[in-house]
């Protein structure tokens, strides 16, 4: 029997409807419209598409978005000066610097320059540290989206064995922290596998949930997956013929897994939806409606 689909597109649409109502309430009761400032350096085609999709998502739920374009030759001091000005602008609640940056720009320095309370990507060391301490505030969008996707599908994480392939600060590490948090949508036993892991396939075969964020096209094959397991595919790659695939070999894995997220239409839409959620949360934090702990989006 083919795996059931973890439909990120439909789930993201439902989350956006909820967010639109919450944004409307914020505007009516507090006369505050959440605002996301996006910074795009250079003319990378993929980055332009990502920023456009994020801005369209903002408009769909009533979040104001502004775009700052800088040439690829921009030097670090000019970029940091722009971030400083956005940090000081009280009408801006969230700051998104689209990654990757052009060669020669220090991404770590740029991320650390963003005010943590406006860090809607959730990459600032302060926000990562709060997550590690069990007090999540603004959490990286892809991990947060995966958690909501699992919850909306009715997939329990408490007591489950979860293997995550990939240890990046954008997905793997924060996701491991998030799913092992004490409480709802957490309490999992998480193994974080990486390039030095011996026999990752054997680890995956013991898992109730496998989350592939390794950055390798179709790495995960059917013999990696225990029958009935949940498989979340975070990767997205373009084949030589122009078609898309993920980190999972979907045709074979779909015949073994109980659930499988598609590529595209799985994790990607959830990432954008969580960016909108984080922008709303950042606005609430900045006007004093929240005390710093992250809410449960899409409950």
Residues 36, 94 within the same domain: yes
pLDDT value at 293 more than 90: no
State the residue range of the domain holding 47: 30-118
Question: Does residue 52 contact residue 67 with C-beta atoms inside 8 Å?
Answer: no
Q: Is residue 21 part of a domain?
A: no
Query: Has this prediction a pTM greater than 0.85?
Result: yes
Q: Distance between alpha carbon 230 and the CA centroid of its chain, in Å?
A: 19
The pLDDT score that the predictor gives to residue 99 is 94
The last residue of a domain, from among 103, 118, 133: 118
The string of pLDDT tens digits covering residues 81-110 is: 999 999 999 999 999 999 999 999 999 999
DSSP output for 21-66: HHHHHHHHHH----EEEEEEES--HHHHHHHHHHHHHHHHHT-EEE
Active site residues: 54, 98, 121
> Given the structure tokens 């639109």, which residue do they identify?
20
Distance (Å, whole) CA 291 – CA 225:
41
Distance (Å, whole) CA 193 – CA 261:
20
The pLDDT score that the predictor gives to residue 294 is 55
Q: Is residue 40 part of a domain?
A: yes
Helix %, strand %, coil % of the chain (to 5): 40, 15, 45
Q: Distance between alpha carbon 90 and the CA centroid of its chain, in Å?
A: 25
The string of pLDDT tens digits covering residues 29-65 is: 999 999 999 999 999 898 999 999 999 999 999 999 9
Number of structural domains in the chain: 2
Residues 79, 114 within the same domain: yes
Residues 160, 255 within the same domain: yes
Residues 70, 166 within the same domain: no
Question: Does residue 139 contact residue 121 with C-beta atoms inside 8 Å?
Answer: no
Residues 220, 189 within the same domain: yes
Residues 39, 96 within the same domain: yes
Q: Is residue 17 part of a domain?
A: no
Residues 200, 147 within the same domain: yes
| CATH number of the domain residue 101 falls in | 3.40.50.10860
Residues 191, 151 within the same domain: yes
Residues 168, 229 within the same domain: yes
The string of pLDDT tens digits covering residues 155-200 is: 999 999 999 999 999 999 999 999 999 999 999 999 999 999 999 9
| CATH number of the domain residue 230 falls in | 3.40.50.720
- The continuous run of DSSP H or E covering 68 comes out as strand 64-70
**Cα-flanking dihedrals φ and ψ of residue 11, to 5°?**
-65, -40
Q: Is residue 295 part of a domain?
A: no
Question: Does residue 149 contact residue 274 with C-beta atoms inside 8 Å?
Answer: no
Q: Is residue 69 part of a domain?
A: yes
Tokens coding 297: 């989006």
């Amino acid at each position: 029997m083919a795996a059931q689909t973890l439909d990120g597109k439909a789930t993201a649409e439902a989350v956006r409807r909820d967010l639109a109502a919450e944004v409307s309430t914020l505007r009516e009761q507090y006369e505050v419209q959440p605002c996301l400032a996006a910074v795009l350096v250079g003319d990378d085609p993929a980055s332009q598409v990502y920023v456009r999709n994020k801005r369209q998502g903002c408009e769909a739920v009533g979040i104001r978005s502004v775009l700052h374009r800088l040439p690829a030759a921009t030097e670090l001091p000019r970029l940091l000066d722009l971030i400083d000005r956005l940090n000081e602008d009280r009408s801006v609640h969230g700051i998104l610097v689209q990654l990757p940056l052009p060669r020669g720009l220090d991404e770590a320095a740029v991320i650390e320059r963003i005010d943590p309370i406006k860090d809607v990507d959730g990459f600032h060391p302060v926000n990562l540290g709060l997550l590690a301490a069990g007090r999540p505030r603004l959490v990286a969008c892809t991990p947060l989206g995966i958690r909501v996707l699992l919850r909306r599908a009715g997939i329990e994480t408490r007591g489950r064995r979860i293997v995550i392939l990939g240890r990046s600060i954008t997905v793997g590490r924060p996701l491991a922290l998030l799913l092992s948090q004490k409480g709802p949508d957490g309490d999992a036993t998480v193994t974080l596998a990486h390039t030095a892991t011996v026999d990752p396939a054997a680890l995956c075969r013991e898992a109730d949930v496998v989350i592939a964020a390794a950055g390798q096209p179709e790495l995960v094959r059917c013999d990696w997956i225990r029958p009935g397991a949940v498989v979340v595919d975070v990767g997205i790659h373009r084949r030589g013929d122009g078609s898309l695939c993920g980190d999972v070999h979907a045709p074979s894995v779909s015949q073994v897994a109980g659930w499988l997220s598609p590529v595209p239409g799985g994790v990607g839409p959830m990432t954008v939806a969580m960016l909108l959620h984080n922008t709303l949360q950042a606005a609430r934090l900045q006007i004093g409606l929240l005390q710093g702990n992250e809410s449960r989006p899409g409950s």
